[in-house]
Chain A
Amino acid sequence: ETGVTQTPRHLVMGMTNKKSLKCEQHLGHNAMYWYKQSAKKPLELMFVYSLEERVENNSVPSRFSPECPNSSHLFLHLHTLQPEDSALYLCASSLGGANTGELFFGEGSRLTVL
């Protein structure tokens, strides 16, 4: 496999469920990101990890919990979500360091919260 892969591609969950989104990158990058994309809004940065350490947390509600066990894998754990959390969640990676370079995106996980 190459690039950035995300699973699941589609997820429907109730407000009381607990689920997780998974991201894996095969590019040898050091930085991984979670972005939220809602209709008619710019991409919102949620979390950034560099070499498994969280370097950015953009005031995201605690019902979203990231986990980065190694530089190739990134998870987003979801619990007690609200309907307004329905969106496309995009994982991305980049080289990292001082010259962060461009972002490489996965195909996204389309989340619907009922």
Chain B
Amino acid sequence: QKEVEQNSGPLSVPEGAIASLNCTYSDRGSQSFFWYRQYSGKSPELIMFIYSNGDKEDGRFTAQLNKASQYVSLLIRDSQPSDSATYLCAVDSGTYKYIFGTGTRLKVLA
């Protein structure tokens, strides 16, 4: 059974701090990695995607990928209360197949 593991949280960080969200996956063949943000009562929206080992930065967000360790992370710098949401990690496991984690709930405290 191919899986994606995330700590369910909640992860609480003060406003302005760095939030670090982590994800491990079991399928060594996965090539594409995604982070989605889901506000309560809303649908998931894409935050970042990463295909290559290393870091990818987009504004306050940085995705980090280590395929050898099967580990993906998302860093949110200068966290804002509006970042409070559930963050879903997803990896591809073949064409049209995305495996999602259960999500980490982030709370940014004002």
In whole angstroms, what is the CA distance A104 to B46 when docked?
A: 8
What B residues does A43 contact at CB under 8 A?
A: 44, 88, 90, 100
> Count of B residues near A, CB < 8 Å?
22
Given A40-B8, A43-B100, the answer on whether A103 and B46 have CB atoms closer than 8 Å is yes
Interface 1/0s, chain B 22-55, versus A by CB < 8 A?
A: 0000000000101000000011111001000000
Q: Check A98/B95 contact, CB under 8 A, given A43-B88, A90-B43.
A: yes
Q: A42-B102, A102-B46 are in contact. Are A56 and B96 (CB under 8 A)?
A: yes
Our pick among A31, A40, A105, A106 for the contact of B96 (Cβ within 8 Å) is A31
Q: Once the chains are docked, how many angstroms separate the CA of A73 from the CA of B68?
A: 40
Instruction: Give the interface centre of A33, A104, A105 by most chain B CB atoms within 10 Å.
Output: A105
- Chain A nearest CB: distance from B56 CB in Å? 14
Chain B CB within 8 A of A50 CB: yes
* A residues less than 8 Å from B92 (CB atoms): 100
Beyond A42-B4, A90-B43, A107-B42, whether A102 also contacts B49 by CB under 8 A is yes
A100 CB contact (under 8 Å) in B44, B45, B95 = B95
Q: Does B97 contact A (CB under 8 A)?
A: yes
From residue 67 to 110 of chain B, which have CB atoms closer than 8 A to chain A? 88, 90, 92, 95-103
A41 engages B45 (CB within 8 Å): no
Beta-carbon contact of B100 and A55 below 8 Å: no
Closest A residue, CB atoms, query B89: A42
**In the bound complex, how far is the Cα of B38 from the Cα of A106, in angstroms?**
12
CA distance A96 to B101 in the complex (A): 22
Q: Which residues of A contact B (CB under 8 A)?
A: 31, 33, 40-43, 45, 48, 50, 55-56, 90, 94, 96-98, 100-108
30 A-B interface contacts by CB (under 8 A): A31-B96, A33-B96, A40-B102, A42-B99, A43-B88, A43-B90, A45-B97, A45-B98, A48-B96, A48-B97, A55-B95, A55-B96, A56-B97, A90-B43, A90-B44, A94-B96, A96-B96, A98-B95, A100-B92, A100-B95, A102-B34, A103-B34, A103-B44, A103-B46, A103-B98, A104-B46, A105-B43, A105-B44, A107-B43, A108-B42
